[in-house]
Structure 1
Amino acid sequence: MKNSVSAGPRAPEAGVPLTTAVVATLTTLVTGAVQFVVMAVWGRRQGRTLHDVLMQWDAHWMTMISEHGYSGFVMSPDQTDPVQWESVAFFPGYPVLVRVVAAPMAVLDVAEATFVAALTVSTVATVAMAWGVSMLAVELWRRRGPSPSDRRTVVVLSAAVTVLAVGAPMGIVYWMPYSESLFTAVTVWALYFLLRRRFLLAGVLTMVAGATRLTATALILLLCAAAVLELWRWWRGRQGRGFPVRALAAPVVGSLGIVGYLSWADRTVAEIGGYFAAQQRGWHSGVDMGAATLRWVTGNLPGELTGYTISSWSMILVALLCAVSLVMLWTGRIPWQLWLPAVVLAGIVLGSDGIMHSRPRLLLVPVLLLMLPLVVELVRTWRTATRPQVAVAGGVLLGAGAVVWCVLGFWVSGAMLIDFEYAI
């Protein structure tokens, strides 16, 4: 296996962080605006406002937890007791942040303060995610050869990978009152800092991810692997290297968020068996080594509903992408620090039971991490082409690919969120 890890981090060229931030922000906002227009027009055809479209399924849980905590509210007319044991399935990172942002709005008597705060948090998190993906792309570029040679290259690279992230199928969920945008943002930045050997920063961001989603276990596993590698390197050359305290501390710090919440949740719903019992009892979610996924895919192709077909094909295609990624890993086209959490995240989703319709959004992060090196290579091939015909063809291919990707992404988002009647 070729070694894709460089000897050490190199400082970003002057202006690269600012350029990627500006381009990622503008590309994200433009793509998001188009998504909103599409969802608004699509929803109006069914007599639903954009608010109705965005405030569905888990968005209700997130906003209610933000307003009332993990009890004190009911989710349907036939309920009489305040929800508590079902609600603990949702980690507190996102709803707590929404509550903080909504507090001054409520004081100022802003209408729909929680909803407005949720959209604000999701928008900021989506922009932060896009910036992190852009910086990650620049880092991947450096690891495969010389740094980007000019600002135009950085602009094109940042715009391309931002479209990959924000325009993805089910990308609309990043803007909704869901935790996807926050979790993905802290994940990509944690990976960026890990690649640059900023272990404690990666650990702190992993802690935030662990307070946001249970799937942060993939990042904790990554930090453990990185710590073991650093310890081995120290042991091999200990006379010239300092003891890797930061690398060893990173997984400990990173695990605090998830361990702290699970400890509280276990005590809170101890009468039904703790957090994982609540997951199984309320959401039919539990590890079954992929048995439920296999049953779903074999029983729903072709599916009776478009949503069934989309969910099934998303699982098949991601499984194939994980298989292809082994070649990318072997040839050094993807660093193991990206490959490992992507494959583990995909394995967690595909190896568990639960609501199968949610798979397209739960697989967004693995798709992003595994496709990111491919987009970086496409941009590199275009920008380094010496023949004008190749450069023109590459530019057309990139532009057409971005349009097709967004059209597919908007269609899947609308089909699953508006036309499909079940939870996503």
Structure 2
Amino acid sequence: MTALGLFAAARATGVLVLAATAWATGRHPATLLARSWDSLWYLRIAAHGYGRTLHLRPGVVYSDLAFFPLYPGLVRAVTGLTPLNASTAALLVSWLAAAVAACGIYAVGARLRGRAVGTALVLLWALLPHSVVLSMAYTEPLLTAFAAWSLYAVLDGRWGWAGALAALAGLTRPNGLAVAAAVLAAAVCELARRRGRVSHRLWTGAALAPLGWAGYVLWVGHRRGDLLGGYFAVQRSWGSRFDLGAGALRSVRHLLLHGGRFVFPMAMVIVAAAVLLYALLIAERAPLPLLVHSGVLLLITLGGSGFFASKPRFLLPAFPLLLPLASALVRTARARPWHATLVVGALAGLSFAYGAYLVVVAHTPL
């Protein structure tokens, strides 16, 4: 498949640029890709299970219960079934998930707007400024894989698959809830359109969709002695809470008044671009599941406090936002091929250079 080949080529080139930068600074690229920031928490959970807590200062307590279980569970399974160590297994899971995600993104784009747009959609996703995360031991590739194929199943009317994949997405990351929201919104719309006369598969899919996310949240709540609030207390201890964007606005205000490292203005630009792309997606009347999925991801990203520099990473699963750009790129390629080539080249240069900077130089939590 052309789309998968372009995705693999883009990410392989990005890894090579990162590796050259790492070696030039005396660091090992494999260590940076597999053992940076949140990756260390996932690897520890894979090796030892839950139970680690760091007391940094009064009111700041980092618990590994903030991390959802599916990714470390897969890493543990791979290390148990193969001779690979945990770091290599974590990268293998992420890279395979990224490839599956690319296939799912292509399938959604091709179904909606043709094969050329599907291919362009995958290429643009591979060349996002922060797409280096897709090559790291992080959960975004796995979440995007479940999201893409769940959305495709909804568009195809396969409600059981859509709900099951949404449940797995909910076991992968906190914002995996967006996939369940998309499935439920589509199910409600279908119920209204058919006046309640739907098959049991729709009811099954709708019932399955939120189970992964809700099950883990309730399990953490039970473990913490507060069934409904325990998980959210863990997140607050990390400095993460939904405050309707108050924390993000404070970060933007501080950035505009006092400046900051390059990572922070880039994060602000990327999030602002995502908002604009969502407006274009609405204007183009994209299917409801795609609008709900991307909208909930944007809402969580904009409305949540916490690590401002991580916000672009949270939007990686929101690939439908790139549909307007993918359509425009295909039109440009047909009318002016060299213009499209220059655009793709510029995006690639930005993606590879910024990815290397972000992982090797910035020293900022991803």
Match of 2:356 in 1: 414
**What is the DSSP-based 3-state SS (H/G/I as helix, E as strand, rest coil) of the residue aligned with 2:240?**
coil
- Structure 2: unaligned runs, 5 residues or longer: none
Match of 2:243 in 1: 288
TM-score, normalisation: structure 1: 0.79
Deviations 1:107-158 (A, max 9, x none): x4x4xx11111111111111101111111111111xxxxxx5xxxxx4x545
Whole-angstrom distance in 2 between the partners of 1:382 and 1:41? 32
Say whether 1:170 aligns with 2:118: no
Q: Which amino acid aligns with 1:257?
A: G
Say whether 1:126 aligns with 2:78: no
Whole-angstrom distance in 1 between the partners of 2:304 and 2:40? 24
**What is the DSSP-based 3-state SS (H/G/I as helix, E as strand, rest coil) of the residue aligned with 1:422?**
coil
**What is the DSSP-based 3-state SS (H/G/I as helix, E as strand, rest coil) of the residue aligned with 2:284?**
helix
Rg larger in 1 or in 2? Answer: 1
- Structure 1: unaligned runs, 5 residues or longer: 1-21, 142-147, 149-153, 384-389
Asked if 1 retains the 8 angstrom alpha-carbon contact of 2:71 and 2:139, the reply is: yes
Q: What is the CA distance between 1:382 and its match in structure 2?
A: 4.8
Say whether 1:268 aligns with 2:223: yes
Whole-angstrom distance in 1 between the partners of 2:230 and 2:278? 33
Q: What is the CA distance between 1:381 and its match in structure 2?
A: 6.7
Which of the residues 97, 107, 128 maps onto 1:135? 107
Whole-angstrom distance in 2 between the partners of 1:254 and 1:271? 24
Whole-angstrom distance in 2 between the partners of 1:408 and 1:31? 12
**What is the DSSP-based 3-state SS (H/G/I as helix, E as strand, rest coil) of the residue aligned with 1:421?**
coil
Say whether 1:86 aligns with 2:58: no
Match of 2:48 in 1: 68
Q: Which amino acid aligns with 1:313?
A: V
Structure 1 segments (4+ residues) deviating >4 Å: 73-76, 380-383
Q: What is the CA distance between 1:377 and its match in structure 2?
A: 4.8
Match of 2:273 in 1: 317
Say whether 1:57 aligns with 2:13: no
Whole-angstrom distance in 2 between the partners of 1:257 and 1:326? 28
Aligned-residue CA RMSD in angstroms? 2.3
Identity %: 31
Match of 1:369 in 2: 320
Asked if 1 retains the 8 angstrom alpha-carbon contact of 2:185 and 2:292, the reply is: no
Where in structure 2 are the equivalents of 1:17-56 lying within 5 Å? 22-54=1-33, 55-56=35-36
Whole-angstrom distance in 1 between the partners of 2:226 and 2:176? 26
**What is the DSSP-based 3-state SS (H/G/I as helix, E as strand, rest coil) of the residue aligned with 1:305?**
coil
Match of 1:10 in 2: none
Give the number of aligned pairs. Answer: 360
Change (3 A) 1:325 1:303: farther
Where in structure 2 are the equivalents of 1:136-215 lying within 5 Å? 136-141=108-113, 148=114, 154=115, 156-215=116-175
Q: What is the CA distance between 1:218 and its match in structure 2?
A: 1.7
Which of the residues 302, 305, 309 maps onto 1:350? 302
Match of 1:249 in 2: 204
Asked if 1 retains the 8 angstrom alpha-carbon contact of 2:120 and 2:329, the reply is: no
**What is the DSSP-based 3-state SS (H/G/I as helix, E as strand, rest coil) of the residue aligned with 2:194?**
helix
Change (3 A) 1:328 1:53: same
Match of 2:81 in 1: 104
Q: What is the CA distance between 1:268 and its match in structure 2?
A: 1.7
TM-score, normalisation: structure 2: 0.91
